[in-house]
């Protein structure tokens, strides 16, 4: 049971006017790479077929573990020279951005490139390159002449978004948003805000992660007792299962093309969904431990901005990372908003791909978007014995669920230092 007062929409009615088309923001393209698919079609297929992308993995100092590894073609959209001097995070970003633009039908040669913005969320950046340089330096008596002159541009925080602008020739604004594991949602929110401000015409937004290439993140989770262990790598990520024991670290990325509805209609674009609500807040409590009341408030505020009541939501994609306490606390927050509502379905995507950190929110939203068309809710897999404290009424487990309608999806994404985010998308209806 939650220890705080549940959200009562009857006490807080939403009465905002509808936005005009110049303020409504829609998704017109999706590009991604994940541990179990490098296109949205393949990703979705594997989610519905219950195919995990987690595999055995070994990294120096930590040894054998599990990870979600991406297998996209880095040379599909990037020249060898830029790939060689760049970073894994940059490579993922370039691939996803190019795929998103292709999916949207936007030809950069036919738009004002100065009006294209790139806003990407990251959990952290630079650790991979620094760890690698220190390791190589140790082989040469710590002689700094062996330190790469590419190190500085590789490790600056804006690197992933910056690599997109260099590779794709985009002179518009770019930066990354450091928002821990809420970063994917934060990238979407930033792009939406910049479009509404009229700063850009097209926004490339989302989140990326190269986390599996730094031993530090594995070592830290292991020291914390939060690194998943299981004889079968494909079953290591098991949110809501009674025997879950930690996080599977993964890499990946998902980037969206966002435009205003007015612009998308003017060019005859295919509209995938409309971003109708969002919110971010802070627990202001602890470095690591989440706060369900603040999570509840985040979802509530996102609903208010979307001019929706809880009963309007069809799917909640949970953040649940497979840690014993974190999963329970998110379930408490969801109960506080939705109670025992039988009409909302709940799922989790990390059970397939592990925790893609800065990419998590964006990737997990992408995996649910096809539900608007096929009206199928992908399940949470690897739940052999449901933890009673995670027994939400609408939780979809192990098998896909065909439903009557999917009009609204709420995507949760939370992170360390108490950063919370929720993004709400709606099936476009004109």
Q: Which residues are catalytic?
A: 181, 319, 355
Three-state SS for 215-226 is: HHHHHHHHHHCC
C-alpha to C-alpha distance for 426 and 424, rounded to whole angstroms? 7
Its sign, for the CA torsion 140, 144, 150, 154, is positive
> Which residue in 335, 318, 334, 65 sits closest to 211, CA to CA?
65
d(CA 28, CA 427): 12
For Cα atoms 212, 117, 213, give the angle at the middle one, nearest 5 degrees. Answer: 10
Q: How many Cα atoms are found within 13 Å in the side-chain-facing hemisphere of 95?
A: 25
DSSP string, 306-356: TT--GGG--EEEE---S-HHHHHHHHHHHHHHHTT-TT-EEEESHHHH-B-
> β-strands 408-415, 315-318: how paired?
parallel
Closest residue by Cα to residue 381 from 289, 248, 213: 248
């Amino acid at each position: 049971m939650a220890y705080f007062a549940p959200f009562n929409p009857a006490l807080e009615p939403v009465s905002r006017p509808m936005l005009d088309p110049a303020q409504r923001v829609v998704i017109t393209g999706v590009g991604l790479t994940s541990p179990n698919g490098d296109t949205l079609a393949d990703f979705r297929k594997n989610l519905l077929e219950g195919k995990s992308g987690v595999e055995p993995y070994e990294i120096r100092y930590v040894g054998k573990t599990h990870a979600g590894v991406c297998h996209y073609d880095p040379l599909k959209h990037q020249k060898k020279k830029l790939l060689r001097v760049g970073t894994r995070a940059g490579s993922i970003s370039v691939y996803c951005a190019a795929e998103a633009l292709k999916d949207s039908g936007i030809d950069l040669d036919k738009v004002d490139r100065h009006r294209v913005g790139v806003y990407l969320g990251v959990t952290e950046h630079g650790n991979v390159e620094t760890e690698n340089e220190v390791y190589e330096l140790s082989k040469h008596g710590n002689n700094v002449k062996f330190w790469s002159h590419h190190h500085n541009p590789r490790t600056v925080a804006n690197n992933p978004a910056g690599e997109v602008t260099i590779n794709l020739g985009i002179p518009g604004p770019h930066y990354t948003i450091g928002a821990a594991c809420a970063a994917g949602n934060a990238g979407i929110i930033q792009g939406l805000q910049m479009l509404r401000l009229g700063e850009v015409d097209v926004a490339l937004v989302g989140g990326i992660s190269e986390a599996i290439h730094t031993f530090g993140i594995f070592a830290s989770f292991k020291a914390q007792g939060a690194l998943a262990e299981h004889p079968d790598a494909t079953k290591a990520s098991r949110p809501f299962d009674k025997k879950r024991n930690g996080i599977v670290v993964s890499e990946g990325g998902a980037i969206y093309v966002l435009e205003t509805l007015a612009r998308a209609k003017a060019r005859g674009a295919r509209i995938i969904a409309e971003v109708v609500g969002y919110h971010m807040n802070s627990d202001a409590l602890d470095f690591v431990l989440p706060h369900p009341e603040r999570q509840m408030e985040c979802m509530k505020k996102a609903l208010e901005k979307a001019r929706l009541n809880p009963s309007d939501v069809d799917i909640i994609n949970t953040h649940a990372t497979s840690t014993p306490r974190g999963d329970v606390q998110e379930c408490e927050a969801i109960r506080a908003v939705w109670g025992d509502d039988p009409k909302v379905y709940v799922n989790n995507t990390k059970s397939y791909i592990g925790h893609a950190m800065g990419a998590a929110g964006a990737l997990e939203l992408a995996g649910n978007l096809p539900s608007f068309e096929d009206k199928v809710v992908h399940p949470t897999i690897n739940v052999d014995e449901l933890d009673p404290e995670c027994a939400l009424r609408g939780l979809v487990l192990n098998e896909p669920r065909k439903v009557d309608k999917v009009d609204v999806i709420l995507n949760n994404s939370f992170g360390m230092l108490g950063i919370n985010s929720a993004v709400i998308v709606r099936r476009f209806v004109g």
